[in-house]
Amino acid sequence: MSISVQFKFKQLSDRFFTALILALIASVLAYSGLLVRFDTLHYDLGRYLTFKPAPADIVIVAIDEASLKSIGRWPWSRNVHADLVNKLKQEQARVIGLDIIFSEPELSNAKADQALTQAIEKADNVVLPVLFEEPYKGSPIKQSVPLESFALHAAALGRVHVPLDADGIARSIYLWEGLGSASLQHFSQAVLQAAKELPSNINLFPTDVLTKTTLTQSDSLISLDERRIKFLGPPGHFQRISYINVLTGEFPAHFFKDKIVLVGATAVGMGDVLPTPVSAQMQPMPGVEFHANAIAAMRDSALIINTPIWLTCLLSVMLALVPLLFLPKLSPLKSLLSIIAYYFMVMVVAIAMPSLFNIWIPPASALIAILLAYPIWSWRKLESAQVYLDHALKNLHDDLALLGVDRRELEYEDYKDSTHSRISNVKLASTHLRNLHGVRRDTLAFISHDLRAPLGAVIMLLNEDDGNHKHLPRITNMLNRSLTMADNFLQSSRAEMADVSKFQDLDFVSLVQQALDDVYAVAHSKKIILNALLPEDNLWLKGDFGLLQRAVTNILLNAVKYSPVEGMIYVELSKKNNEAILSIADAGLGIEPERIAKLFKRFSRAEGEHQAAEGTGLGLYFVDVTIKKHSGSVFVRSELGHGATFTLTLPLELQQI
C-alpha cells in the first residue's frame, strides 16, 4: 500500500475515531446529568432575556408586613378570611385562589370555620391548596389537606408543592402528583379550571380531583408530567394589593372584576418564599407569585417541556459531530474560529428554544463535546501527520541511499522532543536533496558543454573527410542520434527547472509564425504545404519564448515527419475565453487510441507500424512539461487513416479580456 493511500485511510480512521470519542462524551454527559448545573445556567440566562409584562387580569392580594401590623400576628382568624372572600365575591372576581393552608380547625372560635365555609360556598369560585411536606429529612411525606367542610364547597383543590432542582432553585411544577397515585393537579391548574381557562393541552385525570376522597395517604409521592415555568419577570412583577387594603376597600372601583385573584403571603418572615431563576437566593420569590407565573404560562400554553433523555442524548451526539463536517477542510486558525462561532450558535439556539418553541434541550453535553472537538481533531491530525512524515522520511532516506548517499550521513540528533527531532530530520534530508540538485545542474552543464561539444566537433570532422570509409555513414548517423538525444535531454531538463517567476510577456502569434519559418525548409523538402490560419491581432501571454517556440516546433516537425510527400499540414491559432488555442493537424496515418496515452511520457514513444523507428522519446515529453509550466494543456485527437491533431491551450494575459 502506497503512502498516499495509507494517509487517506488514516484520515478516514481519524475522522471515525474522533466521531466515536465525541459521541461517547456527548452521550455519557447527557445521560448522566453530570452537567445539570451548567445546563441550568443557560436556562436561567434565557429567562432573564425573555421578560414580558404581567397580565392585567391576575392580581395578588398580599399578606404583607402592613397587613400583619394592622390585623395582628399570624395566623389570623377564619372570620378575617371569610370577610376577604365575601369582599372579592362582591367585587365579582372570576376566581379566588387562597394560597393558605386550612388543615386544622380554629380551636379558639368554632364559628369562624363555619363562617369561612359559608363564604366559600357562597362565592363558588374558591380554590384551596393541598400541601406535601417532609417534617424532617428521611421522614414520611405528610399531606396537609383542607378541612372537609372547606374542600367539599371549594371550586377545586390543587397542590402548592414546588420541587427544587439540584442547585436548590425552583424552575418547574408537576402537573400531577399525589401520595400513592398521581391524582392531584397543581394549584395553577385548579385555578384555571375554576376560571374555565384551562388549555386543552393540559389533560385532566378521569378521577374527581375536587373532593377529599382522592387525597389518599401513602409514604410514596408519585409525580408526573414535569413542566418548566416561563417566568415573566422578577419578584414584584405582578400587580399586588395589600390584604388590609382589600378589607378596608382602599382600591379602585371594579378593580377585581373578572380577574384571577391569588391570596398569599409575601412577608419575608412567613417563610413562603422560593428561590427562582429570576430571583435566586438573594431575593426569593413569594410562593403566591410563583403560582401567578405558572398560571400565566399555563393559560398561554407556554409551559416548557423537557425533552426525553434519549432525545437529548441523540441531539447532543448529532450536534457534537457537526464540526467534523468542516474541521478537515479548514486551516487550524479557521477551524478554531469556526468552533467558537458554532459553540455560540448552539448556545444561543438552546437558550432561545424555550421561548420560541416551549422546549428545553439541555445543551451542556453538546457544548462540552463541541469545545473538545478542536483539540481532539488536532491531536488526531498531528498524529496522522507524524505517521505520514515518518513513512515519507523513511522512503526518502531509501531513495537517497539508492542515489549514493551514505545512510550514516542521514542520521540526526535525537532530541527529547519528537517533533523537534522530525524537523531536524527534514532539514537534513532537504540539505541532501539540494546537494543532489546541484549535482544535477553540474551534470546538465557537462552534457551541454563537455559532451555535446565533442560530438558536434566529431560530426564536423567526419563531414569534411573526403576518404571513402565504408562505416562513415553509420558512424555519422550514430553520432547525430547521440547529439540529438543529449540536446533533447538538456531541453527537457531546462523545461522542468524553468522559473515561472521569470516569465516575460510575449506575442504568441509571432512565436507560432517563427516556428513555422523554422520548419519551412524541412516541409519544403517533402513538398508539404503548411496551411496556417493566424489571427491579425497579437495574443499576449507570459512565458519563456525559447521553450514555447521549441515546443511548437517539435509538434510541427512531428507533423512533417509523419505526413506523406506532397501532403498538407493545417495550423490554426485562435482565441476563446481568454485562452490561446493552437491546433496542428497532420496528414499522416494516425495513432492507435491505446497508444496515445504513452505519447507524453519520458523516454516513451507510441511505437507501432505507422511510427518511425528513430527518436529519443523526449520530444513530446518536453512539449507536455513546457505547456504545463505555462499553466496550459495539450490534447491529442487521432483516428487511424486520418492523421493526428495536437491542440495546445494557453492562458492569455488578463488585460486582454
User: What is the mean pLDDT of the segment spanning 454-466?
Assistant: 63
The answer to whether residues 520 and 463 belong to one domain is no
**Mean of per-residue pLDDT scores for the chain:** 82
Sheet containing 221-228, strands listed edge to edge, beginning at the edge strand earlier in sequence: 184-185, 172-179, 221-228, 304-306, 359-360
Bridge partners, residue 584, by sequence: 571, 646
What was the pLDDT predicted at 210?
37
Q: What is the pLDDT of residues 9-58, one digit of tens each?
A: 666 788 888 999 999 999 999 999 899 989 998 898 888 888 899 999 99
DSSP state of 138: T
Query: In terms of pLDDT, which residue wins out, 355 or 618?
Result: 355
Q: Provide φ and ψ at 358, rounded to 5°.
A: 55, 35
Specify if 44 maps to a domain: no
Specify if 512 maps to a domain: yes
Residue 41 corresponds to which cell in the numbers above?
Answer: 445556567
What was the pLDDT predicted at 216?
47
Specify if 412 maps to a domain: no
The answer to whether residues 549 and 618 belong to one domain is yes
The answer to whether residues 23 and 78 belong to one domain is no
Specify if 408 maps to a domain: no
Residue 30 corresponds to which cell in the numbers above?
Answer: 447527557
The answer to whether residues 189 and 150 belong to one domain is yes
Specify if 647 maps to a domain: yes
Specify if 270 maps to a domain: yes
The answer to whether residues 251 and 144 belong to one domain is yes
The answer to whether residues 433 and 488 belong to one domain is yes
User: What is the mean pLDDT of the segment spanning 497-524?
Assistant: 89
Specify if 263 maps to a domain: yes
CB 383 within 8 A of CB 14: yes
Q: Is the pLDDT of residue 586 over 80?
A: yes
- Picking from 477, 496, 515, the residue at the C-terminal end of a domain is 496
Confidence of residue 454 (pLDDT cuts 50, 70, 90): low
The answer to whether residues 14 and 58 belong to one domain is no
Q: Give dist(CA 68, CA 53) in Å, integer.
A: 29
Specify if 399 maps to a domain: no
Q: Give dist(CA 415, CA 570) in Å, integer.
A: 65
Q: Is the pLDDT of residue 260 over 80?
A: yes
Q: How many distinct structural domains can be found in the chain?
A: 4
Q: Is the pLDDT of residue 545 over 80?
A: yes
Q: Give dist(CA 511, CA 635) in Å, integer.
A: 20
Q: Which segment, 338-347, 352-361, 388-397, is predicted with the most confidence on average?
A: 338-347
Q: Give dist(CA 318, CA 392) in Å, integer.
A: 36
User: What is the mean pLDDT of the segment spanning 558-570?
Assistant: 89
Q: Is the pLDDT of residue 411 over 70?
A: no
Confidence of residue 609 (pLDDT cuts 50, 70, 90): very low
Question: Over 176-231, what HEC string results?
Answer: EEEECCCCEEEHHHHHHHHCCCCCCCCCCCCCCCCCHHHCCCCCCEEEEEEEECCC
The answer to whether residues 59 and 89 belong to one domain is yes
Give yes or no for a cis peptide into 75 (omega within 30° of 0).
yes
The answer to whether residues 84 and 210 belong to one domain is yes
What was the pLDDT predicted at 48?
81
Q: Provide φ and ψ at 331, rounded to 5°.
A: -70, 165
Give yes or no for a cis peptide into 252 (omega within 30° of 0).
no
Q: How long is the chain?
A: 657
Confidence of residue 232 (pLDDT cuts 50, 70, 90): very high
The CATH number of residue 586's host domain is: 3.30.565.10
Angle at 426 between CA 421 and CA 427, to 5 degrees: 95
Domain range for 449 is: 428-496
Confidence of residue 581 (pLDDT cuts 50, 70, 90): very high
User: What is the mean pLDDT of the segment spanning 504-509?
Assistant: 92
Task: Flag the least confident range among 88-102, 438-452, 511-525, 600-614.
Answer: 600-614
What was the pLDDT predicted at 389?
74
Q: What is the pLDDT of residues 175-204, one digit of tens each?
A: 988 887 767 899 999 999 999 888 877 765
Radius of gyration of the chain (CA): 47
Greatest alpha-carbon span in the chain: 156
pTM: 0.65
Closest CA to 332 of 369, 385, 368: 385
Q: What is the pLDDT of residues 282-328, one digit of tens each?
A: 688 999 999 999 999 999 989 999 999 999 999 999 999 999 999 88
User: What is the mean pLDDT of the segment spanning 523-537?
Assistant: 90
The answer to whether residues 517 and 619 belong to one domain is yes
Query: In terms of pLDDT, which residue wins out, 209 or 343?
Result: 343
Bridge pairing between strands 504-507 and 540-543: antiparallel
The answer to whether residues 150 and 252 belong to one domain is yes
- Picking from 289, 305, 321, the residue at the C-terminal end of a domain is 305
Q: Is the pLDDT of residue 115 over 70?
A: yes
The answer to whether residues 580 and 438 belong to one domain is no
- Picking from 496, 530, 553, the residue at the C-terminal end of a domain is 496
Bridge partners, residue 144, by sequence: 131
